[in-house]
Chains A and B, each alone.
Chain A
Amino acid sequence: MSALLACLVLPLLGALAAVALPRRAVAAVLAGVVALTLVAAVGLAVAVHSGGVVRLALGGWSPPLGIALAADGLGAAFVLLTALVMAGVAAAARDEMTPQGAGPRAAFGFWPLMLLLWGALNAVFLSRDLFNLYVGIELLTLAAVALVAIGGRAEAIAAAMRYLIFALAGSLLYLAGVVLIYGAHGTLDIDLVAARDAAAPDGLALALMTAGLLVKTALFPFHVWLPPAHASAPAPASALLSALVPKASFVILLRLWFEAMPDLGTDRALLLLGVLGAAAILWGSLRALVQARLKLIVAYSTVAQLGYLFLVFPLAGGAAGAQPWTAGAWTGAIFQALSHGLAKAAMFLAAGLFMAAAGSDRLGALRGLARVMPMTAFAFALASVTLISLPPSGGFTAKYLLMTSSFAAGQWIWALVMTLGGLLTAGYLYRPMAALFAREGGEGVQTVARARQAVPLVLAGLAILLGILSAAPFDFLQIGRPEAAEEGP
């Protein structure tokens, strides 16, 4: 219970401290906050693992009077993912976000924004109240937009502006849905909404909230803001934005469709979500295939990889609930979110190191870098293994679970899309890989300290480990799994 609170409060306190304290003290405090929050996240996971869902009613008031917080397997897993990625990014940013390297404004602004983002993410993962979720996702958006703009270059500002407009539109749609729910049922607690008597505006409310969240998750065709935003932010910020931020709105979607209102999941709506996901996989991959800059390739790859998450809706949602394959599909999608988070963070951090060494992320400039920075190149390759979903990575486990479900459900078309997606992923990651491992080039490039190169390697290694040791995380995710994703006979 205290671990749960710590996960929420520590990053926010840290953000305050990063602004208020004198520069010299900040580094030590930041290190402490990051370490403590990581410990709290691990502690929360341990508590959930040993004792089941951890619940907390703020101020002792239980819903509908108070606001509930809870950590189930899903929430705790994402809190832990966030902590791991944050720790990695913080380690990388210590060297990258310096006044000399990134400019004084970015060096100052990055840390409070990062911690604010952390607090907001944890709030989203642990809240059981639709309005609380709104507050969390709004805070998240503002921090994320600022992180894009932090570099200060004109293209970054433009990308941030575009991101802001999309995200605010998304927020408004979501808020409108929340208002409708509150007006009809007088409560926003997820469990109470689930137990509501059906009312006329429910369908519209769910549609509005979903549309808003799709924009924030950058699902095709609402993805246009994502590539420029993620590609023009500083690399450590991109890592956070790609690995974690879209996952928050996805988790809210899961909460809505599987916990709050699973009864509204009509076949047609679920199919639409799945089709958009499939389109994202194919379109994102095809776009990634033709980019000339590494960060854009990685950003379009995020568009594609987010598409896989949405296959959970036709496979496990609505009337399909309580089928033998439902639990597999639900868990597979979450595995995809977790392993993509780790691998994508590793990839953006590696891209940052390549840029630091070569001065550019054009594919031509990366030629031969594998010889100068073998560790980073290896980390990039490992992260690619997860994204292509080759065994034994976490990405493979995810796609195996999703593909088995789609065959079992008789919807093999999704398996076909996933297979195509995997091949396209291999195609678009082959190009940077071929450049990195080219024989010529790489002369006169400044290499990067080994300690810095280790960070992406550890994150990419974790993504592989998620596959090799997939039994424990699988069981962990079943803790407090919504009934709608229950395994059937």
Chain B
Amino acid sequence: MSALLPVLILATSLITAAITFFLPEASRVLRNALNLGGAVLKLGLIVAMLVAVAGGAVYEASLPLAPGLVLLLRVDAIALLFVSLSGTLWLLTTVYAIAYFGTKAHQSRFFGFFSLCVAATTGLAMSGSLISFFLFFELLTLSTWPLVAHKQDGASLRAARSYLLFALPGSAALLWAIIWLESATGPVLFTEPPDLSGLDPWELRAIFALFILGVGVKAALVPLHGWLPAAMAAPAPVSALLHAVAVVKAGAFGVIRVIYDVFGPQTVAALGVGVPLAALASLTIVWGSIRALQQDEIKKRLAFSTVSQVSYIVLGAALAGPYAMIGALVHLVHQGLMKITLFFCAGIYDERAGVKRIEGLNGLGARMPWTSACFSLGALGMIGLPPMAGFVSKVYLGLGALEAGAPWVLGVLAASTLLNAAYFLPLLYRLWFLPAAGDATGDERAPVLVAPAVVTAAASLGVGALAASAVSPLRWAELIITRGYLP
């Protein structure tokens, strides 16, 4: 049973994908039932595993490939954090996507790749060895590409091409890093820190840089972030998933794995590579925010905001102390909830009111109160207003910075908070306080479209306000740290 569960949880998405590809376009009911069923089943399995893992259980399944290549799925606390996030948001995004696409064309293709993308994310989260991580990392690249290109118009195809132009060299760098490392240490399992004594410090630094280059493309670290704002040409459900769980989080999760499970915080500190990475993350945080300020398109502003926010996770990991690490892990979840809310709402504005640019938001608050309330909650959370989710993340990152002896990080956090406020508050002002244009239309008579946003908005309020309760992501992050990373 313990070997079966990780496989089952992967299969819920993988089999859904495989069947969906072959469904005729017209069989909407069957397709929707299948996708929702798969997502619900997966969520059920996740809950069961959460209970078991909280009690100390670990699930493992492995498939030996050629020598040196071990496909290992391992569900422990840290894997489950990411799996739970992706499983929950998969269900919500599926509901949203069903409402969003209605009767539009090419849905079997869309939902097929969508499920495949979730399967890749799940596999990546559960990967217990470097090579399995790489395998799912690549599967993610391949399954996201058709999603970005889904509309098949000029902008989407350009975005998809740019995505590959960034992602494939990134993968090459990651593969180099893995092979270089493993040719000296043998296969690297995340549970057993590899023996790095066979490599001299400069080799280790080069390998570390290659790792960061490889996963940094997906985490949209400056200057590797160019593909992410372009990718907002994709349909709203894709953007939502891309920005909240699938791609950027895979990159951020990769950074965590590299620092904590491949090199180990001590080695990272000894090599002196943690501080440059933290500086790069800080640069990304500030730069992303500044660029967000300059955008007039809602989705583009949100995209640059993602560039900035995901680097909080990288920053926390790079600081490499218990508090910073808790901040990083918990922000993985928090940013996902908040950002998916914002993208859900952006999609609703576009779909129901035809609003793509920020000028169009004027006065929409009254016309679309539910959507606008959710959008506001998400935005306030991003700014870090207590007691929202973003506040909790920032507190722990700040504590971590002090603990790591890097007080300058507090300055970065403060600057970022101000910039967040500067690019989000004008939107809220427009929504609630400015009068609507005379010819403005828009309604939210699409409860299925709005409901997922309401759920995620409520969740991003809840995980912050109830952070101290026994079942919050914060508690779970603390559990991960106390179990795995405290000496």
Interface of chain B, helix or strand or loop or mixed? helix
A390: Cβ under 8 A from any B Cβ: yes
B386: Cβ under 8 A from any A Cβ: no
**Distance between Cα atoms of A471 and B62 in the complex (Å):** 12
In the complex, which residues 428-472 of chain A have their Cβ closer than 8 Å to any Cβ of chain B?
430, 434, 437-439, 467-471
In the complex, which residues 128-161 of chain A have their Cβ closer than 8 Å to any Cβ of chain B?
none
A331: Cβ under 8 A from any B Cβ: yes
**Distance between Cα atoms of A407 and B138 in the complex (Å):** 22
In the complex, which residues 200-257 of chain A have their Cβ closer than 8 Å to any Cβ of chain B?
none
- In the assembled complex, which residues on chain A have CB atoms less than 8 Å from the CB atom of B66? 331, 335, 397, 400-401, 470-471, 474
B67: Cβ under 8 A from any A Cβ: yes
Beta-carbon nearest neighbor of B70 in chain A: A471
Beta-carbon nearest neighbor of A487 in chain B: B67
Q: A391-B138, A437-B152 are in contact. Are A423 and B179 (CB under 8 A)?
A: no
Does the CB pair A470–B164 fall under 8 Å?
no
- In the assembled complex, which residues on chain B have CB atoms less than 8 Å from the CB atom of A471? 64-66
B59: Cβ under 8 A from any A Cβ: no
A419: Cβ under 8 A from any B Cβ: yes
A358: Cβ under 8 A from any B Cβ: no
Does the CB pair A423–B169 fall under 8 Å?
yes
- In the assembled complex, which residues on chain A have CB atoms less than 8 Å from the CB atom of B164? 426, 430
Beta-carbon nearest neighbor of B109 in chain A: A374
Beta-carbon nearest neighbor of B157 in chain A: A434
Q: A390-B138, A423-B168, A439-B152 are in contact. Are A415 and B64 (CB under 8 A)?
A: no
Does the CB pair B168–A426 fall under 8 Å?
yes
Interface size of A by CB at 8 A reads 31
Beta-carbon nearest neighbor of B137 in chain A: A391
**Distance between Cα atoms of A415 and B67 in the complex (Å):** 18
**Distance between Cα atoms of A335 and B152 in the complex (Å):** 36
In the complex, which residues 321-355 of chain A have their Cβ closer than 8 Å to any Cβ of chain B?
328, 331, 335
**Distance between Cα atoms of A365 and B134 in the complex (Å):** 36
- In the assembled complex, which residues on chain B have CB atoms less than 8 Å from the CB atom of A335? 66
Cβ contact of A422, chosen from B69, B152, B172, B182, cutoff 8 A: B172
How many residue pairs link A and B with beta carbons under 8 A? The number is 73
**Distance between Cα atoms of A228 and B275 in the complex (Å):** 56
B142: Cβ under 8 A from any A Cβ: yes
Does the CB pair B179–A391 fall under 8 Å?
no
Q: A400-B69, A434-B157, A474-B67 are in contact. Are A415 and B138 (CB under 8 A)?
A: no
Beta-carbon nearest neighbor of A405 in chain B: B183
Cβ contact of A390, chosen from B142, B176, B184, cutoff 8 A: B142
Q: When each residue 170-203 of chain B gets 1 if its CB lies under 8 Å from chain A and 0 otherwise, what string results? A: 0110011001101110000000000000000000
Does the CB pair A392–B135 fall under 8 Å?
yes
Does the CB pair A470–B65 fall under 8 Å?
yes
B354: Cβ under 8 A from any A Cβ: no
- In the assembled complex, which residues on chain A have CB atoms less than 8 Å from the CB atom of B161? 430, 434
A404: Cβ under 8 A from any B Cβ: yes
Q: A391-B134, A400-B179, A439-B152 are in contact. Are A385 and B142 (CB under 8 A)?
A: yes
**Nearest CB in chain B: distance from A472 CB, A:** 10
B484: Cβ under 8 A from any A Cβ: no
**Distance between Cα atoms of A392 and B169 in the complex (Å):** 18
**Nearest CB in chain B: distance from A367 CB, A:** 11
In the complex, which residues 99-135 of chain A have their Cβ closer than 8 Å to any Cβ of chain B?
none
**Distance between Cα atoms of A385 and B138 in the complex (Å):** 10
Does the CB pair A328–B149 fall under 8 Å?
no
A408: Cβ under 8 A from any B Cβ: yes
A312: Cβ under 8 A from any B Cβ: no
**Distance between Cα atoms of A434 and B149 in the complex (Å):** 10
**Distance between Cα atoms of A437 and B157 in the complex (Å):** 10
Does the CB pair A391–B135 fall under 8 Å?
yes
- In the assembled complex, which residues on chain A have CB atoms less than 8 Å from the CB atom of B134? 391
- In the assembled complex, which residues on chain B have CB atoms less than 8 Å from the CB atom of A470? 65-66, 69
Cβ contact of A423, chosen from B71, B141, B152, B172, cutoff 8 A: B172
Does the CB pair B153–A439 fall under 8 Å?
yes
**Distance between Cα atoms of A328 and B180 in the complex (Å):** 15
B44: Cβ under 8 A from any A Cβ: no
Does the CB pair B172–A419 fall under 8 Å?
yes
Closest 6 CB pairs of A and B: A407-B183, A439-B152, A470-B66, A391-B135, A474-B66, A470-B65
A-B CB contact pairs (8 Å), 17 listed: A328-B68, A390-B138, A390-B141, A391-B134, A391-B139, A397-B65, A400-B66, A400-B68, A401-B66, A403-B175, A404-B179, A407-B183, A415-B179, A423-B168, A434-B157, A439-B152, A469-B65
Known contacts A391-B135, A419-B172, then 19 further A-B pairs from the complex at CB < 8 Å, ordered by chain A residue: A328-B67, A328-B68, A390-B138, A390-B142, A390-B171, A397-B65, A397-B66, A400-B131, A400-B179, A403-B179, A404-B182, A407-B180, A415-B176, A415-B179, A426-B168, A434-B161, A469-B65, A470-B69, A471-B66
